[in-house]
Amino acid sequence: MNYKAVIQYEGTRYRGWQVQGNTDQTIQGKLETLLGRMAGEPVEVHGSGRTDGGVHAAGQVINFHCKVSMSPQEIRDYMNRYLPEDIAVLSVEEAAPRFHARLNAVRKTYVYTIWNSAVPNVFGRRFMTRIEEPLDVERMREAAGYLCGKHDFLAFSSLNPRRFKKSTVRRLDEVRIEQKEAVIRIYFTGDGFLYHMVRILAGTLVEAGLGLRCPEEMGALLESGNRADAGRLMPPEGLTLLKVEYS
């Protein structure tokens, strides 16, 4: 049976999503170990995307195949009983045999959260990045407008173009920036994201908000395809995978 599940996790203490040979501190590794124990045989877990170390998820989607005499709700309850407290399973349901969490995803939404204050946020520090200098949110919104649409986002990724042979063209449907007092949230929705793409997009918008870039530069950055031309790579703790959409 193929199962689809929605999970959330705090990525602070993990080395990222993907299983790695030199550590057991990955989200995929924790899930596969637990499901393998439940099923009595190895279980491979597919995620909608590979979040980096320190990045969080509020609505990561996974799928896995296993044979158990348990209802989806019983699987959910079993997983929540034995998973670490910083990983939770929101739902489990039976899926079509060919459903694949990554290959069938049509849109994803990430949010990057900034604490824009000279005073640290003690309780939110694991989920936001602090920038002390005041940010001009209107300049950031203006810059974001140039990024929406279908573009080659190679300049906004940490990929090595000599090794990465697939297309780096992606469709960015929306960049929405909300501000409430010291909290600034940047929402990115698109059909897919390259390695470090959201964190670099956020860093470039931050530089526009600090007056270090003109919003009109965004088009030239897209054309350049050069990582060195784009903005800073923002720290991972401010990033959260919010939701994944399917047709």
Question: pLDDT tens for residues 189-221?
Answer: 999 999 999 999 999 999 999 999 999 999 999
Q: What helix, strand, coil percent values describe the chain, rounded to 5? A: 25, 30, 40
In this prediction, residue 73 has a pLDDT band, given cuts at 50, 70 and 90, of very high
pTM summary value: 0.96
CA atoms within 13 A on the CB side of 192: 18
The candidate with the shortest Cα–Cα distance to 55, out of 15, 24, 100, is: 15
Q: What is the pLDDT of residues 81-121, one digit of tens each?
A: 999 999 999 999 999 999 999 999 999 999 999 999 999 99
Domains of the chain: 2-94 (3.30.70.580), 106-246 (3.30.70.660)
| pLDDT at residue 163, rounded to an integer | 81
157-189 exposure pattern, b = at least 16 Cβ within 10 A, e = fewer: bebeeeeeeeebebebeebebebeebebbbebb
Question: What is the per-residue DSSP string for 126-143?
Answer: TS-EE--SPP-HHHHHHH
Q: Has 152 been annotated as catalytic? A: no
Q: Return the H-helix or E-strand segment holding 61.
A: strand 56-65
Q: What is the pLDDT of residues 156-193, one digit of tens each?
A: 999 987 788 789 999 999 999 999 999 999 999 999 99
| List 52, 86, 136, 229, catalytic entry | 52
DSSP-based three-state secondary structure for 205: helix
